[in-house]
A and B are shown apart, each in its own frame.
Chain A
Amino acid sequence: MQLRDFVIRFGAEGGGGIVTASEILAQSATQVGYHALTFSTFPSQIMGGPVWTQTRISVNPVLSAGDDVDVLVAFNQEAYDNHRGDVREEGVIIYDSGEFQLEDESRSLGLPLDDLAKSTGNARAANMVVIGALAQLFGMPQDDLDEFVTKRFTRGRAGDQEIIAANLKAMYLGREQVTGSGFSIGELAPPSMPDYEQVMLAGNQAMSLGALAAGLDFYAGYPISPATTMLVYMERNLVGPGKFAYQVSSEIESITAIVGAGFAGKKAMTATAGPGFSLMSEGLGLAWMAEIPLVVVDVQRGGPATGLPTKTEQSDLMACMFPAHGDVRLPVIAVGSVEECFYGAIKAISWAERYQGPVILMSEISVADRVQNILKPDISKVEAEQRIVHQGSNGYHRYSGFELSPMPIPGNPGAYMANGSEHDEMGDTTHLPERHIQMTERRFSKIKLLEEDEYERDQADQPVVMMPWGGTKGPALEAYNTMKEQGIPIGWFYTMLLNPLPPKLLEELKKKELVIVPELNYQGQFSSILRSQGVRAQSITQYTGLPFKVRDLISKITEMTQSHIKEVVRA
């Protein structure tokens, strides 16, 4: 049997390196021309606790982590107990027989992983034993793996050759074990190597690169899962002339420091997650009020307060759009794939500079931590926007009129007061009603500058359509493709630009009988925003801390379309 799509899940105690194992598997698969995507989820602790990771390998570009597991690799009894139900009937369970025994499981293959690893002379090679076993199970040629291992462990150190030899030996041992067992899953259909250049990276890495490509100058951040990797990346790489990246002492410092940097003429950004975002509330209101360009990335995690620091959710949308007290509604861009992480960051920085104010860039764990192969973005084609700067003399009225006025930069003529209190055109504090009216309208009028008609549409003439946002895009698109094949009458809309929505998109949505919004939160936040703009939107919600399964989406959406048709007929 030829497989076109293949899902491997690893379950273990945290700290054992299975995140690395799933990434190695993905890397080795993409190296030979397959597409791959990883997903991982774990408790909030350095070591220990139940961790599971998943790699999906396919001959086509991968949209989601996959519902059903073809091979489960269980490193302990708990992993087996938790995940056996997700393994499809013809699937295989590989387990660590040095750790526990499975007597009544016919689909299982026990491997004494530690003993096998130790016999290679490298006790840490257990993951390679597993990868060898997996490669044998789905008939992956060893030549490619040899090349991959050699590349990965050639680091210009004295012990390189030994380590390579031990890892290769571990792989062969894994293969031997499977060969002798009689287990097989089938054979992976041959890959068709894409005819374009590819990169393989995580969402947070792509987003950091996008920001750098857009000319980011200044980054301040505070460690918080799952945004920390961006801080770490920036600290290492944002160090050129005139650049600065720094770990400050709280998210209050992050936001106010980038307010200062934005005021001083720099492209400034921070990245955080829920609790840090809450602390930034007042500072975001300040940036809106004083008209300071900056970008805040919110990599969403689960729940209010400390909540679920390592689980995925889409429950910050309202907070991102309305983060502060007073009349504030911030521009919001939400990314739904690793590729969009890159382009979303460029868009967010461009928006901030264009309208001279704060922009929120939303991501979420399932996108931020996901490692995926994508078309290599062409850096030379990135056109990030620059701020319109005041070039004239002193005595300038920075907050004059409506929409936009060129921004003076400290050190140059045009000194003014950037003011978080209500102010007149010079920036001086005022309490006059007519001035508060004018300035409030001025701030909102600038949002119009961000209206762009960038969105996806398919079967757009259908009266019932689906429109996911953010990371739900992947599983929703997979569900949509399947439903389209099945002839279920439904259309597709999607955009990264949640506020302001592309005007033409909004026009189209308003004409729909029903817009179905799958989203990972309890309240149905996006559908309620759409309803407030005159769209007949209804959510499919989930709040488990995990992404949607494609299967669940198909059944719920099908059900909603059918009951909608019944209602229409009855009416």
Chain B
Amino acid sequence: MSKKNPEYDFKWCPGCGDFGVRRSLEFAMIDRLEETGLPMENNVVVAGIGCSGNLVHLLEGSQPYGFHGIHGRSLPIAMGVKMARPDLNVIIVAGDGDFLSIGAEHIGPQASRNLNVCAVIMDNGVYGLTKGQSSPTTKLDVITPSTPYGKIEAQLNPLELYLTLGVSFIASGFSSQPRPLAKLISQGMNHPGFSIIHIQSPCTTYNDTFEELKGNVKKGIEPTLWDIPDTHDPSDRAAAYGLLQEGGVPVGVIYNDESRPTLDQRAESIRQKANPKSVQELMDSFQF
């Protein structure tokens, strides 16, 4: 409905990586619909604030439920939805500024909880919507409007952060590969636990990294993207760390631990053993 809504006035810049991510997410949700038979309304997409957050308005065809909340809080909003209704498929869409700066405090707790949601993170290394300020994934020394003399803090490696915090499924992807990316998102949605699909989704206006990522043979530029070889065992945590030390941008599944119960499973097992009192019994316990 949204794309044809004349009142909706948000647009991405031409060539924005988020177009590809949107396409991938649509693929993944349609695949899920076909596989499970569950209606599109069974999906809830919780968006952060920023260019990427507007993805939730732009989906074509039948609609998932959407929540366009406040900056940095997509994770706890998603937790509320998921723990209220574990039967829903809850997806987060957010950018590097939203998820890794103002919202970073929520990643650790959700990883410990193994909240069963899939976070689709679009990393463009910049605050696009506010016009080009530096973000946690902007490189050291880079000049931006908010770092006129060069950025003086180190570039964050989000994949290492996720691994360290205990996120149970971590994949890395690229916005210009919609089909392979859709597959990673599907794997994330099907993963029992907290999954993050971290995607390089360049900003053509403020931080165009397409050439750097893909390389350019004519200019002799080597691509920074590289496919994770089939020999990598994603269940091996040490191997996952090793992979991240090799530099560049690995593409594929980095880490996958399916052995941990999810937060909603743990809550359910408590319900089974708690044997709670009725409100009447609770009231009676105060009678004298």
A residues with a Cβ closer than 8 A to B are: 27, 30-31, 197-201, 205, 209, 212-213, 217-218, 220, 237-241, 243-244, 246, 248-250, 252-253, 256-266, 268, 282-283, 285-286, 290, 373, 376-377, 379-380, 394-395, 408, 410-421, 424, 426-432, 435
Contacts and interface: CB of A to CB of B under 8 A. Distances in A.
B156 interface: no
B40 A415 contact: yes
A252 B67 contact: no
Contacts of A240: 271, 276
A230 to B, nearest CB: 13
Contacts of B83: 218, 244, 246, 257, 261
Contacts of B283: 199, 209, 213, 376-377, 379
A237 B63 CA distance: 37
Contacts of B288: 27, 30-31, 198-200, 373
Contact of B5 (A256, A260, A380, A424): A424
Interface stretch (B17-25, B84-92, B163-171): B84-92
Interface in B1-45: 1-2, 5, 7-10, 39-42, 44
A47 to B, nearest CB: 28
B47 to A, nearest CB: 9
B267 interface: yes
B63 A241 contact: no
Contacts, number: 197
A411 B76 contact: no
Contact of B2 (A212, A244, A426): A426
A243 B268 CA distance: 10
A261 B10 contact: no
30 contacts: A27-B288, A31-B288, A201-B286, A218-B84, A237-B277, A239-B271, A239-B274, A240-B271, A241-B271, A249-B105, A252-B73, A260-B77, A261-B80, A264-B88, A268-B80, A282-B70, A376-B287, A410-B44, A411-B42, A412-B41, A417-B65, A418-B65, A418-B66, A418-B68, A420-B68, A427-B68, A429-B68, A430-B7, A430-B9, A431-B9
Interface residues of B, number: 55
Contacts of A420: 68-70
A373 B287 CA distance: 9
Given A248-B76, A431-B9, A414 B67 contact: no
A250 B105 contact: yes
B121 interface: no
A415 B67 CA distance: 10
Contacts of A30: 288
B217 interface: no
B286 A205 contact: yes
B66 A417 contact: yes
A428 B2 contact: yes
Contacts of B66: 415-419, 427
Q: Which 7 A-B pairs have the closest CB atoms?
A: A260-B80, A257-B80, A199-B286, A264-B84, A261-B84, A256-B76, A417-B66
B25 to A, nearest CB: 15
A329 B30 CA distance: 41
Given A198-B288, A429-B54, A424 B7 contact: yes
A541 B211 CA distance: 68
A261 B63 contact: no
- Main DSSP-derived SS at the A contact region: mixed
A283 B72 CA distance: 11
Contacts of A218: 80, 83-84
B259 to A, nearest CB: 23
Interface string B44-67: 101000000010110000111111
Contacts of A263: 67, 77, 80-81
A408 B108 CA distance: 32
B282 A428 contact: no
B151 interface: no
Interface string B245-267: 00000000000000000000001
B180 interface: no
A241 B274 CA distance: 11
B63 to A, nearest CB: 4
B279 A239 contact: no
A448 B165 CA distance: 47
Given A261-B84, A417-B68, A424-B8, 17 more contacts: A217-B84, A239-B274, A244-B83, A249-B105, A253-B109, A257-B77, A259-B77, A263-B81, A264-B84, A268-B80, A376-B287, A411-B85, A415-B63, A417-B56, A417-B66, A418-B69, A420-B70
A206 to B, nearest CB: 9
Contacts of B79: 248, 253, 257, 260
Contacts of B238: none
Contacts of A418: 65-69
B280 interface: yes
A260 B70 CA distance: 12
B98 to A, nearest CB: 13
A260 B78 contact: yes
B149 to A, nearest CB: 32
Highest count of chain B CB atoms <10 Å: which of A30, A240, A259, A417 = A417
